[in-house]
């Protein structure tokens, strides 16, 4: 039997009256019997000297208070245990940082000592080399002087003997000895010997001053503070992440010390790779596979780097918006203009300006018999367009002022155009060839991709663009294919050919290349994405999107991947995430 059960059978009694304790005085905080209530714990009306309740109510209150306190105490111990774990981890990390710092100092000292020793060894080698040169030269001089002294002394002794001999003997060779000795003495007197025997070591006092300073410093800053996460905050499903880890301060770390996790919108978290680039920064490798908010968390030594975790809005693929172009005969082309605007070619000489949301914000009319086929927006904001009416290329400002025109003597029925602004070359799809102009001098560079369209009343080469590698992509309307040429105009291969099924094109009208080097082609009833080698990736539109006879198209965003297409079939501009 438990203590509580025994106590329940034999409850405690009042120590004064030996009666059961049935009342509780809240003021005195004591359990009392009924006699105590009337003798010592009376509740005087209006004065509240004692406040009593039944022992049962007091026990209920006690239990409630105890339970609440137990919860609070449990929460407190849980927090303290969490704090203790953090402190323990902190001690462990502190030990690791201590060891790493000590190793770093030791390594730095060893490096300094090695460099000083290498410098000393180099100087010693220079001393030895200089000594050998000077010693060799001095030894040669000593030998030469010794030989000369010996020769002179020999001839002096000979003169002494001749002077003591008879006159005839002396005169037989005496004059010759005198002449030779005189020449030797004069030559020896004029000879200059190198008496510079100095080899000195000059101390680098500035280095000594530097050594008086600390070789480094010990700080409380985190290695994670040396990095910052940057990148595109929007993307489409399946698109490669554009997330960089930028080194903002000097620190020594490798990619293995950087840990990155990618949390999908579904909640699934995966560890992803980090690769170092040629600039010493890092790239997070990965893709978000479903729409929603994706998070990229990057840590160094378990600590978040600056601006981590980073949230990315992952948008689903498909038709995003349809802009209805009212009261027009045709919709021919669309190009991005500025951050969120589109220029839409609706008639031969009328250009409309729309927000990507669909708001019409202006219309411009070009004069002078202009029949615009396709447009291209330059980096400086000017617009280049192919003019089928005047058979030329015209560059104008946004208010319609003509900057330059050229190609009238060369072009016949020009259509698609593309400008490589880095090399200042414009490519023009010109019926049966592609014409290349220098956009500065306006001079013809060459013609490529020439084909025979004798007897055909239709345009054959309808559009042209460049890959990221500089290859020229030529889109053929009649042949319904896409061909690839090198930058000299040599045909490399046909990369997309004719057909109704997905992966083939029929009556194509526009081709563009996005920042990932994917090729997008608009053809009779669909939009398709291909790799840079022509491998079919996917169809961008769905049948219910109403793509019919699409014309020009334009990449309007890379993150998320987004394009606009001029859809002639229902006189609209359709915007897709892809």
Q: Which segments of the chain belong to CATH 2.60.40.10?
A: 224-315
To the question of pTM greater than 0.95 for the whole model, the response is: no
For residue 116 the two structure tokens come to 């000083």
Lowest mean pLDDT of 24-38, 215-229, 476-490, 559-573, name the range: 215-229
Q: Which segments of the chain belong to CATH 2.120.10.30?
A: 318-336+403-577
Compute the chain's Rg from CA coordinates: 48
Question: Which pLDDT score, from 0 to 100, does residue 45 have?
Answer: 45
The region, left, alpha or beta by phi > 0 then psi within -120 to 50, assigned to residue 354 is beta
135 versus 41: the higher-pLDDT residue is: 135
Spatial contact of 414 and 427, defined as CB atoms under 8 Å apart: no
Lowest mean pLDDT of 67-76, 131-140, 334-343, 395-404, name the range: 395-404
Centroid of chain to Cα 207:
38
Expressed in percent and rounded to 5, the helix, strand and coil fractions of the chain are 30, 35, 40
Centroid of chain to Cα 228:
11
Crossing angle of helices 167-190 and 55-164, in 10° steps, is 160
Residue 84 has pLDDT above 50, yes or no: yes
Question: Which pLDDT score, from 0 to 100, does residue 374 have?
Answer: 95
Task: Report CA-CA distances (Å) from 244 to 182, 230, 232, 259, 274.
Answer: 89, 5, 9, 13, 9
Cβ burial of 414 (10 Å; 0-12, 13-18, 19+) is buried
Question: Which pLDDT score, from 0 to 100, does residue 363 have?
Answer: 87
Residues 6+ apart with CB under 8 A from 176: none
Per-residue pLDDT of 266-315, as tens digits, reads 999 999 999 988 888 899 999 999 999 999 999 998 889 999 999 999 99
* Average pLDDT, rounded, for the chain: 89
Question: Which pLDDT score, from 0 to 100, does residue 5 have?
Answer: 59
Residues 6+ apart with CB under 8 A from 555: 336, 512, 514, 515, 520, 561, 562, 563
448 versus 204: the higher-pLDDT residue is: 448
Strands (E), 329-471: 333-337, 341-345, 350-355, 360-365, 372-377, 383-387, 392-396, 402-406, 417-420, 425-429, 434-438, 444-448, 461-466
The region, left, alpha or beta by phi > 0 then psi within -120 to 50, assigned to residue 523 is beta
What is 224-315's CATH topology? Answer: Immunoglobulin-like (2.60.40)
For residue 83 the two structure tokens come to 């704090």
Residue 220 has pLDDT above 80, yes or no: no
Question: Which pLDDT score, from 0 to 100, does residue 458 have?
Answer: 57
45 versus 448: the higher-pLDDT residue is: 448
Question: Which pLDDT score, from 0 to 100, does residue 211 have?
Answer: 65
Question: Which pLDDT score, from 0 to 100, does residue 3 have?
Answer: 53
**Residue 561: closest CA among 536, 545, 538:** 538
419 versus 177: the higher-pLDDT residue is: 419
**Residue 560: closest CA among 575, 545, 538:** 575
Opening angle at CA 217, ends 211 and 221, nearest 5: 165
Spatial contact of 536 and 561, defined as CB atoms under 8 Å apart: no
Spatial contact of 276 and 255, defined as CB atoms under 8 Å apart: yes
241 versus 194: the higher-pLDDT residue is: 241
Cβ burial of 342 (10 Å; 0-12, 13-18, 19+) is buried
Question: Which pLDDT score, from 0 to 100, does residue 476 have?
Answer: 96
For residue 398 the two structure tokens come to 């946004």
Q: For the residues 5-20, what does the mean pLDDT come to?
A: 78
Which architecture, in CATH terms, is 318-336+403-577? 6 Propeller (2.120)
Residue 46 has pLDDT above 60, yes or no: no
Per-residue pLDDT of 137-187, as tens digits, reads 889 889 988 998 898 898 888 888 888 888 877 788 788 888 888 888 888
Task: Calculate what percentage of the chain has a pLDDT beyond 70.
Answer: 94
116: enclosing H helix or E strand: helix 55-164
Q: To which residue do tokens 């920064």 refer?
A: 281
């Amino acid at each position: 039997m438990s203590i509580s059960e025994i106590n329940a059978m034999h409850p405690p009694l009042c120590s004064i009256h030996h009666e059961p304790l049935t009342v509780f005085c809240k003021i005195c905080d004591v359990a009392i019997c009924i006699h105590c209530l009337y003798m010592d714990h009376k509740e005087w009306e209006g004065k509240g000297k004692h406040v009593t309740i039944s022992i049962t109510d007091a026990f209920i209150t006690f239990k409630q208070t105890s339970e609440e306190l137990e919860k609070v105490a449990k929460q407190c111990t849980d927090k303290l245990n969490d704090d203790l774990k953090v402190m323990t981890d902190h001690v462990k990390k502190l030990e690791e940082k201590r060891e790493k710092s000590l190793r770093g100092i030791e390594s730095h000292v060893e490096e300094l000592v090695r460099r000083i020793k290498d410098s000393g060894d180099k100087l010693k080698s220079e001393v030895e080399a200089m000594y050998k040169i000077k010693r060799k030269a001095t030894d040669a001089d000593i030998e030469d002087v010794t030989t000369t002294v010996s020769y002179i002394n020999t001839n002096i002794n000979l003169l002494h003997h001749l002077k003591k001999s008879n006159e005839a003997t002396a005169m037989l060779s005496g004059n010759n000895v005198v002449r030779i000795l005189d020449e030797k003495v004069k030559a020896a007197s004029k000879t200059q010997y190198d008496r510079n025997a100095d080899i000195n070591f000059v101390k680098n006092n500035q280095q000594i001053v530097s050594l008086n300073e600390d070789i480094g410093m010990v700080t409380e800053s985190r290695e994670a503070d040396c990095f910052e996460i940057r990148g595109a905050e929007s993307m489409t499903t399946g698109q490669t992440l554009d997330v960089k880890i930028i080194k903002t301060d000097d620190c020594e770390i490798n990619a293995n010390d950087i840990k990155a996790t990618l949390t999908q919108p579904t909640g699934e978290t995966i560890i992803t790779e980090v690769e170092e680039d040629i600039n010493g920064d890092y790239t997070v490798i990965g893709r978000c596979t479903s729409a929603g908010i994706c998070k990229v968390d990057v840590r160094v030594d378990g600590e978040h780097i600056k601006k981590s975790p980073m949230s990315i809005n992952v948008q689903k693929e498909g038709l995003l918006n349809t802009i209805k172009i009212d009261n027009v005969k045709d919709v021919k082309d669309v190009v991005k203009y500025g951050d969120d605007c589109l220029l839409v070619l609706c008639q031969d000489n009328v250009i409309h300006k729309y927000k990507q949301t669909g708001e019409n914000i202006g219309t411009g009319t070009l004069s002078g018999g202009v029949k615009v086929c396709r447009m291209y927006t330059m980096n400086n904001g000017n617009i280049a367009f192919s003019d089928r009416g005047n058979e030329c290329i015209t560059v104008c400002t946004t208010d319609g002022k003509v900057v330059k025109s050229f190609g009238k003597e060369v072009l016949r029925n020009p259509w698609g155009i593309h400008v490589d602004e880095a090399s200042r070359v414009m490519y023009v799809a010109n019926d049966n060839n592609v014409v290349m102009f220098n956009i500065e001098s306006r001079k013809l560079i060459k013609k490529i991709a020439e084909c025979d369209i004798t007897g055909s009343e239709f345009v054959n080469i309808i559009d042209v663009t460049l890959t990221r590698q500089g290859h020229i992509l030529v889109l053929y309307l009649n042949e319904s294919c896409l061909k690839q040429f090198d930058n000299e105009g040599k045909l490399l291969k046909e990369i997309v050919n004719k057909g109704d099924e997905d992966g083939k094109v029929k009556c194509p009208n526009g081709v563009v290349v996005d920042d990932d080097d994917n090729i997008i082609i608009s053809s009779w009833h669909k939009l398709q994405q291909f790799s840079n080698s022509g491998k079919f990736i996917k169809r961008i539109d769905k049948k219910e999107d109403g793509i019919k006879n699409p014309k020009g198209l334009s990449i309007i965003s890379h993150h998320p991947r987004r394009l606009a297409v001029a859809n002639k079939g229902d006189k609209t501009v359709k915007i897709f995430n892809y």
